[in-house]
């Protein structure tokens, strides 16, 4: 017989996933006596122990030498997170600037500053263990989610893909063998005629096999009033996603987990207007075709075999295939003629092999190998920048392929020098290649590019971890990160030179502690990064009329402090995060590609002039000085009912979108202050949630790209209903 305590805790932890489209947990059979009930109450008043799995073994975050924010599906629901954009409101030192077909995801000022397929991302997103598309397909919704781990600082040193800024690991709920027929369904209705439905079902297929099916669908009217004449979509949202998982465990030692995702994401359009426009962000003009559709399929196969001696052999393999279609008015006005369209097909194959030692013992290690092949295809007549459209003499047209490949081997070893002191050492050797086989027509001139580039790197990490006592953990490490370079496409100057890889040397020290008998947890972190070869588009050094991607020759210094706290006191729970950061660009001279100049400008020596700017000492892009977030909730119980109001607030200070920091050209992205709230009413097996996001309806610029400003989400509110079975 299931007790009422078990039902309430499980249903609250599962149904509250409404705001993040997440799944349900299963209730556990229990019949606690009075003593056990008292113990359960004491445990409920403690902050939940959180584990990180990003380095392919589960380890409590509180004793891991890493800066991270780890969110359960319940956490996502409470904070109103259902897409990647909103992660910046729950973790220190992160910014996500969404300009539609791609995002600039930066952590501690490092990630991605330019918007093209050749520039890889420094913040890698993983879904169910595989590194996903590095620039496109960023709008996948979060639904039926188990955990999201946001790691700050260089990652991928030991597993997965390289990352200079950080990594995000999203893990969906697995099928549960022996979990019976269980699941949930959820419906929502909100302003802008927002209607959504989602659910999941766990299906037993025998004693050793189970399946899980999950789906998500949402339709919503446009946020924008668009004054045309334009063609195509008015930015109405129509999205459908589904996931099928199979979990087979024929023996205790061997398991197979397979998942396939499908998404058809019709965002309608990404309306935008000039950066210096004075009108409201949601009242825009356009006279071009508007479209924004992503279609993708992802399949992930994870195999685990546990040897009798405790060693685990694991493989994680993925196949991802997507097509993105984008049409926009590039000048953002009803009178201009500058338009852009593209259709891009991307396919990624990847596999990772790990040999993992047991978690116990004085010596722990992991060995691995990684391979990934990523090919982008630009069909003929689909990538076009036109001024005006159809004018051959002034259009820029591109077609062809851009294949990229990564191969890596890595290893990590940890020594218990004493029962309190541990030394961790690790390294990774990577070889990355990229190639262009493209045809370009610029100003009526046909150009052909067949070019390859190769980048190799060894990165590593050395950490000292010290358990001061069972409740206090200290660590310090030095680590390096690597992001490969890429190829410039032709711009009328012949075959251009490639741009080099980025490197970061990171130094970090942290203190993690538990107070008040587990009711309060804290993480404090100080870090410093020496960031080399930042990849940026500027005027071509010898003829600045053309834009060109190259590397900042000097070393950028980025330093900061971060704090995270969590508390649980009887019916009250709270969490907060703080990030303080300062950055200073290294030696760099450059011409702003938005201005006309023919005077040479050497990146290392200049000389400085009106056009050739000396940029040393300026702020790093997408590196706000201050980020802050806080959430508070309180439970009220009346008999069998539980009412839980929650309040969330996040602040991200102003930041720069380019190194030139020209306010007249709209380079400054203003600060964001986001207020979310919800009231959840749990009644038996049913949960009603009244929610609101961006309650102050702040109209803020979410990103700047190609001279346009893109709006963040306005105020949304509504009601969600969910039940489990």
Domains and CATH numbers, the chain: 4-462+634-646+678-724 (2.40.170.20)
Is the pLDDT at 482 greater than 70? The verdict is yes
pTM of the shown model: 0.90
Please state, rounded to an integer, the average pLDDT across all residues of the chain.
88
The pLDDT-based confidence of 67 (bands split at 50, 70, 90) is very high
Distance, in Å, from the CA atom of 60 to the CA atom of 555, rounded to the nearest integer, reads: 35
What pLDDT shows up at residue 117?
Answer: 79
Determine whether 300 is exposed, middle or buried from the number of CB atoms within 10 Å of its CB (0-12, 13-18, 19+): buried
What pLDDT shows up at residue 74?
Answer: 81
The pLDDT-based confidence of 162 (bands split at 50, 70, 90) is confident
Is the pLDDT at 33 greater than 50? The verdict is no
The pLDDT tens digits of the residues spanning 278-297 come to 999 999 999 999 999 999 99
The pLDDT-based confidence of 525 (bands split at 50, 70, 90) is very high
What pLDDT shows up at residue 722?
Answer: 94
Distance, in Å, from the CA atom of 399 to the CA atom of 414, rounded to the nearest integer, reads: 49
Beta bridge partners of 434: 404, 453
What pLDDT shows up at residue 9?
Answer: 37
What pLDDT shows up at residue 542?
Answer: 67
The pLDDT-based confidence of 51 (bands split at 50, 70, 90) is low
Mean pLDDT, rounded, for 104-123: 87
- Could you tell me which residue, 542 or 326, shows the higher pLDDT? 326
Count of alpha carbons within 13 angstroms of residue 322, beta-carbon side = 28
Distance, in Å, from the CA atom of 397 to the CA atom of 391, rounded to the nearest integer, reads: 11
Is the pLDDT at 13 greater than 50? The verdict is no
Q: Which region among 36-45, 61-70, 156-165, 660-669 has the lowest average model confidence (pLDDT)?
A: 36-45
What pLDDT shows up at residue 54?
Answer: 67
The pLDDT-based confidence of 578 (bands split at 50, 70, 90) is very high
Distance, in Å, from the CA atom of 66 to the CA atom of 334, rounded to the nearest integer, reads: 50
Distance, in Å, from the CA atom of 619 to the CA atom of 635, rounded to the nearest integer, reads: 43
Q: Which region among 72-76, 114-118, 307-311 has the lowest average model confidence (pLDDT)?
A: 114-118
What pLDDT shows up at residue 119?
Answer: 84
Distance, in Å, from the CA atom of 453 to the CA atom of 470, rounded to the nearest integer, reads: 50
Mean pLDDT, rounded, for 216-238: 95
- How many other β-carbons are positioned within 10 Å of the β-carbon of residue 456? 13
Mean pLDDT, rounded, for 220-227: 96
What pLDDT shows up at residue 49?
Answer: 58
Mean pLDDT, rounded, for 322-348: 93
| E strands, 118-208, in order | 123-127, 130-131, 145-152, 166-172, 182-190, 194-204
What percent of the chain is predicted at pLDDT more than 70? 91
Is the pLDDT at 52 greater than 50? The verdict is yes
By C-alpha distance, which of 54, 45, 23 is closest to 143?
Answer: 23
Is the pLDDT at 510 greater than 80? The verdict is yes
What percent of the chain is predicted at pLDDT more than 90? 71
Q: Which region among 161-165, 373-377, 392-396 has the lowest average model confidence (pLDDT)?
A: 392-396
The pLDDT tens digits of the residues spanning 408-459 come to 999 999 999 999 999 999 999 999 999 999 999 887 888 899 999 999 999 9
The pLDDT-based confidence of 207 (bands split at 50, 70, 90) is very high
The residues near 696 (Cβ < 8 Å, ≥ 6 apart) are: 673, 675, 715
Is the pLDDT at 17 greater than 50? The verdict is no
The pLDDT tens digits of the residues spanning 122-155 come to 899 999 999 998 878 888 999 999 999 999 999 8
Q: Which region among 33-37, 230-234, 285-289, 484-488 has the lowest average model confidence (pLDDT)?
A: 33-37
Mean pLDDT, rounded, for 399-406: 96
What pLDDT shows up at residue 543?
Answer: 63
What pLDDT shows up at residue 169?
Answer: 92
What pLDDT shows up at residue 491?
Answer: 73
What pLDDT shows up at residue 705?
Answer: 86
Report DSSP letters for 416-432, one per residue: ESSSSEEEEEEEEEEEE
Distance, in Å, from the CA atom of 388 to the CA atom of 339, rounded to the nearest integer, reads: 7
Q: Which region among 47-51, 462-466, 574-578 has the lowest average model confidence (pLDDT)?
A: 47-51
Sheet containing strand 166-172, edge to edge, reads 67-72, 145-152, 166-172, 123-127, 130-131
**Token pair listed for 153:** 């600082």
The pLDDT tens digits of the residues spanning 609-644 come to 989 999 999 999 999 999 999 999 999 999 889 999
């Amino acid at each position: 017989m299931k007790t009422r305590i078990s039902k309430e805790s499980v249903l609250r932890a599962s149904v509250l996933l409404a705001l993040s489209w997440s799944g349900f947990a299963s209730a556990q059979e229990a019949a606690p006596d009075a003593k056990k009930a008292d113990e359960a109450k004491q445990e409920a008043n403690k902050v939940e122990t959180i584990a990180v799995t990003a380095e392919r073994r589960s380890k409590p975050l509180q004793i891991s030498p890493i800066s991270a924010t780890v969110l359960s599906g319940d956490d996502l629901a409470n904070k109103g997170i259902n897409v990647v954009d909103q992660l910046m409101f729950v973790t220190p030192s992160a910014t996500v600037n969404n300009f539609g077909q791609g995002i600039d995801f930066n952590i501690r000022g490092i990630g991605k500053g330019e918007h093209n397929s050749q520039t890889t991302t420094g913040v890698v997103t993983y879904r169910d263990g595989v590194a996903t598309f590095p620039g496109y397909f960023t709008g996948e919704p979060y639904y039926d989610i188990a955990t999201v781990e946001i790691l700050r600082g260089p990652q991928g040193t030991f597993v997965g893909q390289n990352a200079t800024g950080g990594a995000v690991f999203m893990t969906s709920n697995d099928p549960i063998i022996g979990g019976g027929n269980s699941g949930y369904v959820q419906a929502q209705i909100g302003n802008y005629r927002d209607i959504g439905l989602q659910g999941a079902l766990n299906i037993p297929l025998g004693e050793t096999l189970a399946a899980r099916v999950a789906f998500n669908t949402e339709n919503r009217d446009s946020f924008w009033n668009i004054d045309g004449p334009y063609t195509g979509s008015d930015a109405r949202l129509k999205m459908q996603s589904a996931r099928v998982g199979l979990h087979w465990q024929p023996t205790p030692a061997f398991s197979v987990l397979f998942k396939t995702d499908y998404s058809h994401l019709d965002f309608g359009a990404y309306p935008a207007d000039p950066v210096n426009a004075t009108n409201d962000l949601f009242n825009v003009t356009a006279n071009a075709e508007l479209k924004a559709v992503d279609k993708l399929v992802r399949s992930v196969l994870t195999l685990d075999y546990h040897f009798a001696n405790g060693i685990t052999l694991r493989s994680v393999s993925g196949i991802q295939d997507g097509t993105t279609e984008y049409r926009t008015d590039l000048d953002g006005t009803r009178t201009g003629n500058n338009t852009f369209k593209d259709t891009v097909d991307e396919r990624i194959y990847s596999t990772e092999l790990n040999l993992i030692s047991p978690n116990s013992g004085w010596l722990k290690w992991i060995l691995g190998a990684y391979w990934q092949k990523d090919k982008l295809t630009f069909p003929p007549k689909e990538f076009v920048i036109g001024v005006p459209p159809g004018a051959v003499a002034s259009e820029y047209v591109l077609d062809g392929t851009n294949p990229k490949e990564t191969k890596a081997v890595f290893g990590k070893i940890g020594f218990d020098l004493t029962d309190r002191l541990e030394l961790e050492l690790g390294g990774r050797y990577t070889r990355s290649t990229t190639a262009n086989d493209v045809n370009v027509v610029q100003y009526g001139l046909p150009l052909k590019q067949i070019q390859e580039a190769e980048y190799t790197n060894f990165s590593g990490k050395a950490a000292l971890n010290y358990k001061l006592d069972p409740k206090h953990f200290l660590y310090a490490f030095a680590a390096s990160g690597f992001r490969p370079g890429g190829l410039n496409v032709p711009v009328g100057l012949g075959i251009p030179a490639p741009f080099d890889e980025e490197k970061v040397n990171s130094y970090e020290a942290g203190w993690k502690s538990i107070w008040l008998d587990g009711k309060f947890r804290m993480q404090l972190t100080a870090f410093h990064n020496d960031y080399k070869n930042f990849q940026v588009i500027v005027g071509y050094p010898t003829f600045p009329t053309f834009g060109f991607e190259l590397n900042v020759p000097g070393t950028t210094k980025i330093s900061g402090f971060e704090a995270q706290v969590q508390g649980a006191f009887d019916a009250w729970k709270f969490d907060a995060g703080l990030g303080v950061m300062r950055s200073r660009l290294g030696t760099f001279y450059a011409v702003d590609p938005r201005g006309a100049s023919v005077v040479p400008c050497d990146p290392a020596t200049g000389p400085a002039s009106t056009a050739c700017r000396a940029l040393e000492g300026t702020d790093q892009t997408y590196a706000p000085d201050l980020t802050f977030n806080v959430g508070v909730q309180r439970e009220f119980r009346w008999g069998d009912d539980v009412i839980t109001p929650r309040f969330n607030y996040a602040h991200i200070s102003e930041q720069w979108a380019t190194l030139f920091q020209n306010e007249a050209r709209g380079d400054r992205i203003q600060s964001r202050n986001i207020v979310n709230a919800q009231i959840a009413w749990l009644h038996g097996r049913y949960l009603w949630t009244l929610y609101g996001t961006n309650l102050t309806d702040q109209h803020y610029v979410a990103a700047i790209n190609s001279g346009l400003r893109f709006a963040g989400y306005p105020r949304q509110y509504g009601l969600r209903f969910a039940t489990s079975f």
